[in-house]
């Protein structure tokens, strides 16, 4: 599973980088470390706030999503995935998905606000959920895609999205591994 997901992320990264290079899209226009740092914090804490909001607005769907994520954690541990590999997967997904969805796809889909909207739709479609009771998860992914796309549109930089995406995924993977470890300690 780990290798499979790493290959998917590597494929997205290579396609995105090639696409951006051939089309002349920029990953970082007008570098501004202060702006990018502020946007990174807004994105990261915005995602955390969105999770909290969804857990309160859609508790049943959120619980089903947590169960599905818990199954991923069980699978990760059963395949020997540990924290270093999970952090590597989080980094790979944060970088590759931002390069592919925002850097390449958003620019190709007419850029601007229409590009933000359309890449968020594709981002959602490529994060499928096997249980319809977890219907709020695709909505969360769509909102996250809108947030990342807006950040890239307004800053011209993929860096804030990459960092926020990485930390969000790293926190999630870490929680999944720790949750399973805690369950093992209790039994």
> Is residue 175 domain-resident?
yes
What are the residues whose beta carbons fall under 8 Å from the beta carbon of 154, sequence distance 6 or more? 39
Q: Which two tokens stand for residue 71?
A: 């199954």
Tens-digit pLDDT profile for residues 31-51: 899 999 999 999 999 999 999
> Is residue 4 domain-resident?
no
> Is residue 6 domain-resident?
no
In whole angstroms, give the CA distance from residue 180 to residue 74.
6
In whole angstroms, give the CA distance from residue 76 to residue 145.
25
CA distances from 130 to 9, 53, 56, 143 (A): 20, 22, 22, 19
In whole angstroms, give the CA distance from residue 157 to residue 28.
4
The per-residue pLDDT for 183 is 62
> Is residue 15 domain-resident?
no
Strand partners of residue 28: 157
Collapsing DSSP to helix, strand or coil, 29 comes out as coil
Tens-digit pLDDT profile for residues 131-150: 999 999 999 999 999 999 99
Collapsing DSSP to helix, strand or coil, 111 comes out as coil
Number of domains in the chain: 1
Q: Which residues form the domain of 172?
A: 33-186
Position 30 confidence tier, pLDDT thresholds 50, 70, 90: confident
For the segment 73-92, the average pLDDT, to the nearest whole number, is 92
> Is residue 179 domain-resident?
yes
> Is residue 8 domain-resident?
no
> Is residue 3 domain-resident?
no
> Is residue 27 domain-resident?
no
């Amino acid at each position: 599973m780990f290798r499979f997901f790493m290959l998917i992320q590597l494929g997205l990264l290579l396609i995105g980088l090639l696409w951006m290079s051939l089309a002349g899209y920029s990953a970082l226009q007008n570098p501004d470390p202060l702006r990018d740092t502020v946007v990174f914090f807004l994105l990261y804490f915005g995602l955390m706030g969105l999770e909290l909001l969804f857990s309160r607005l859609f508790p049943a769907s959120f619980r089903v999503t947590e169960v599905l994520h818990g199954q991923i954690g069980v699978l990760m541990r059963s395949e020997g995935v540990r924290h270093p590999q999970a952090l590597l997967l989080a980094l790979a997904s944060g970088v590759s998905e931002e390069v592919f969805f925002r850097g390449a796809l958003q620019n190709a889909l007419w850029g601007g606000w229409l590009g933000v909207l359309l890449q968020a739709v594709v981002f959602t479609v490529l994060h499928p959920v096997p249980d319809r009771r977890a219907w709020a998860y695709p909505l969360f992914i769509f909102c996250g895609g809108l947030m990342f796309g807006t950040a890239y549109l307004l800053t011209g930089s993929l860096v804030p999205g990459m960092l926020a995406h990485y930390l969000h995924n790293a926190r999630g993977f870490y929680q999944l591994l720790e949750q399973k470890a805690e369950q093992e300690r209790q039994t």
